[in-house]
Amino acid sequence: MTGRLERRRAIVTGAASGIGAEIVRRFAAEGATVALLDIDSDGARAVADACGGHAVVCDVASPASVADAVEAAQAALGGLDIVVNAAGILARQLFETIDPGLWQRLFEINLRGPSLVIQAALPFLRLAEAPAIVNIASLSALRPSPGTAVYAATKAGLLMLTKCLAEELAPIRVNAICPGIVETPMTAGFMADPATRDRIEQANALHLLGRPADVALAAVYLASGEARFVTGTQIVIDGGSSFA
């Protein structure tokens, strides 16, 4: 049986941990060859050692680092069909306490980063047969929650970037995924509190906690030919917490 991403060559940022690492595993299982871009080079190498692929150090906040990493990735893969932007940072902090340095970090990693990666990848994606971009935004892009104003604003920006690029870059397909809270190292701090964990679980219609695989399987679909008529949209993966 052939995989859904057979012979496809993919860059995944944020590939060392959490959702990005699970996307690498699922892409590899579906036959893709993957370049794992992350600022955490040891973490990316560990994931690559476990499931194949090329680990490439990359700080998405740095234009020079992104240019070098995307060039190295496409050279190692022999071209590029898919880009997944999963690198990101979270700050759960009241708006009035966010200093300009943290504001800038959130902006540079969560919004400008994906934009730089897409720009660097474009010349290679334009040569591909069925190119696709998947941006990992957030439910925060659609719904406010306390202490996430700047994070949410970067994710809302990423969602609109997705929609604008779907129009401007067609036939390259550009889509986003908006996960609710998913258990990863990013959320481990507040999920360690049993009461918070229980509250999060009860806050969605299915009373489940999100897992990286829930997001990664949607990324496989959006990157694959099964989504050939899907662009400029988002898949919300939140157990129903946005209507519960």
Show which residues are catalytic: 151
Q: Which position among 5, 11, 14, 152 is part of the footprint of ligand NAD (CB under 6 A)?
A: 14
Output phi, psi for 103, to 5 deg: -55, -45
Shortest CB 8 distance to ligand NAD, Å: 21
DSSP reduced 3-state for 51:
helix
Q: Decide: is 204 part of the binding site for ligand NAD (CB under 6 A).
A: no
Shortest CB 148 distance to ligand NAD, Å: 10
For 23, half-sphere exposure in the C-beta direction (CA atoms, 13 angstrom radius) is 36
Q: How many residues does the chain have?
A: 244
The residue among 17, 24, 55 whose CA lies nearest residue 134 is 24
The nearer residue to ligand NAD, 59 or 71, going by C-beta atoms, is 59
Distance CA 75, CA 115 (A): 20
The nearer residue to ligand NAD, 128 or 237, going by C-beta atoms, is 237
Q: Which position among 10, 12, 28, 39 is part of the footprint of ligand NAD (CB under 6 A)?
A: 39
Place of tokens 């680990």: 55
Among positions 55-94, residues that touch ligand NAD (CB under 6 A) are 58-61, 86-90
**CB under 8 Å to 134, separation ≥6 — which residues?**
82, 83, 84, 85, 175, 176, 177, 219, 222, 223
The nearer residue to ligand NAD, 57 or 172, going by C-beta atoms, is 57
Q: Decide: is 234 part of the binding site for ligand NAD (CB under 6 A).
A: no
The residues of the shown chain that bind ligand NAD, judged by CB under 6 A, are 13-14, 16-20, 38-40, 43, 58-61, 86-90, 109, 136, 138, 179, 181-182, 184-187
